[in-house]
A and B are shown apart, each in its own frame.
Chain A
Amino acid sequence: MTASATDLANAKAQAHEWPLWEVFVRPKAGLDHKHCGSLHAADPKMALQLAREVYTRRQEGVSLWLVRSDQIVASDPADKAMLFDPMEDKVYRHPTFYELPPEVGHM
């Protein structure tokens, strides 16, 4: 498909489909919200209700975050080598080469 054909297909899909939302569930107080999936919903209120129905029906959580998928800024998988490979040989960034004085105790 050409770029314009893709745009057209996307526009058509958007006109007939509700936006996609990413669902984050906090399993219990004190833990982080964890990404667990996505769903389609017309607006924030519906997104929250449907996330409750689909993702917490087995007592999975105590809190929900919903984020519209198109609002997420994501790295390009094609940039993986550029972005992440340079860290491969820099083990010294792990703080495992220091000797802690005993009085510091557990850090």
Chain B
Amino acid sequence: MTTTFAPLPTTASASNAAASTTTGSIVFEPTPRQQYLMRIGDSCLIHAQRLAEWSGHAPILEEDIALTNLALDLVGQARALLTHVGRQVGFDEDQLAFLRAERDFLNFTIAELPGRRAGRDFADAVLRNFLLAAWMNVLWAKLVQSGDAEVAAIAGKAVKESRYHVAHAADWVVRLGDGSDESARRMRQAVDRLWPYTAELFETDAVDTAAAEAGLGPVRAALRVGWQAIVEPVFADAGLQLPATGAFRSTGSRGVHSEHMGYLLAEMQTLQRSFPGGVW
């Protein structure tokens, strides 16, 4: 594998960097193996960022805490995976999270779609949380068997977290879907908005195939049956129809993102780009 390193810009140290200074992006060519892990880690990270937007804004105080707890689980999973990848390419987790350009993020598009700030409904947050948690749960359960011992260890911890995420999110999907006319209407709208982006979660490509051949993890298509086994009964309980999957395919896992991603990254990265290496 050839990995190229771009030198970090030699801006002033964190303590005296002016806020007007913006640190450039790190550059490296990830191997298929690294791309496979970045897709998972980036999806956890970006999903966590969207969940965190609900901090202070969830419908009830307790759910507010719950959503940020879930986000922190996801940040933990992202940290573990990005640290693992970063060690191979000479960067740390913070550099990977905060100093990568948009095209170098490989999260699934569904994770970056607008959240509360853009006026999307709580139903969207609930549904995305459920659809992604179910996908992650099936994936982690398989990654426990990964030939990469560190990935297997990360999965062993994450699978327990994701099992709870599924339970928590599924409960809300049913509560709103099978709730009042108004809540059911909003859930249906969320399904219409988000469902087209689920196709990407099962589109096997060369990166997946390489990972499967190397014993790193499953191809995406292999997750569909397990995912449907979680999603279908919950939709049935919620009185929601499973839409047909159309021809649209989102492309976040190849680094081509929606128009919402840049804004998300601007907010997420601004501190580290202004004060590189800054810590609490």
Give residues in A with beta carbon < 8 Å to B. Answer: 18, 39-42, 45-46, 49-50, 53-54, 57
Contacts and interface: CB of A to CB of B under 8 A. Distances in A.
Given A39-B62, A49-B171, A50-B63, 19 more contacts: A18-B60, A40-B62, A41-B62, A46-B171, A46-B175, A49-B66, A49-B167, A49-B168, A50-B62, A50-B66, A53-B62, A53-B63, A53-B65, A53-B66, A53-B69, A54-B62, A54-B65, A57-B65, A57-B69
Interface in B30-74: 60, 62-63, 65-66, 69
Nearest to A41: B62
Contacts of B66: 49-50, 53-54
Contacts of A41: 62
26 contacts: A18-B60, A39-B62, A40-B60, A40-B62, A41-B62, A42-B175, A45-B171, A46-B171, A46-B175, A49-B66, A49-B167, A49-B168, A49-B171, A50-B62, A50-B63, A50-B66, A53-B62, A53-B63, A53-B65, A53-B66, A53-B69, A54-B62, A54-B65, A54-B66, A57-B65, A57-B69
Interface string B159-188: 000000001100100010000000000000
B110 to A, nearest CB: 24
Q: Is the interface of B mostly helix, strand, loop or mixed?
A: helix
A52 to B, nearest CB: 8
Contacts of B171: 45-46, 49
Contacts of A49: 66, 167-168, 171
Interface residues on B, range: 10 to 19
A42 B65 CA distance: 17
A39 B63 CA distance: 11
Contacts of A42: 175
A45 to B, nearest CB: 6
A101 to B, nearest CB: 53
Contacts of A57: 65, 69
Interface in B244-267: none
A75 B69 CA distance: 37
Contacts of B168: 49
Nearest to B68: A53
B166 to A, nearest CB: 12
Nearest to A39: B62
A18 B63 CA distance: 13
A69 to B, nearest CB: 15
Nearest to A45: B171
Contacts of B63: 50, 53
A42 B259 CA distance: 38
A18 B69 CA distance: 22
Nearest to B66: A53
Nearest to B72: A57
Contacts of B167: 49
A53 B168 CA distance: 10
A39 B69 CA distance: 17
A49 B60 CA distance: 13
Nearest to B70: A53
A24 B260 CA distance: 43
A17 to B, nearest CB: 10
B68 to A, nearest CB: 9
Contacts of A40: 60, 62
A18 B171 CA distance: 16
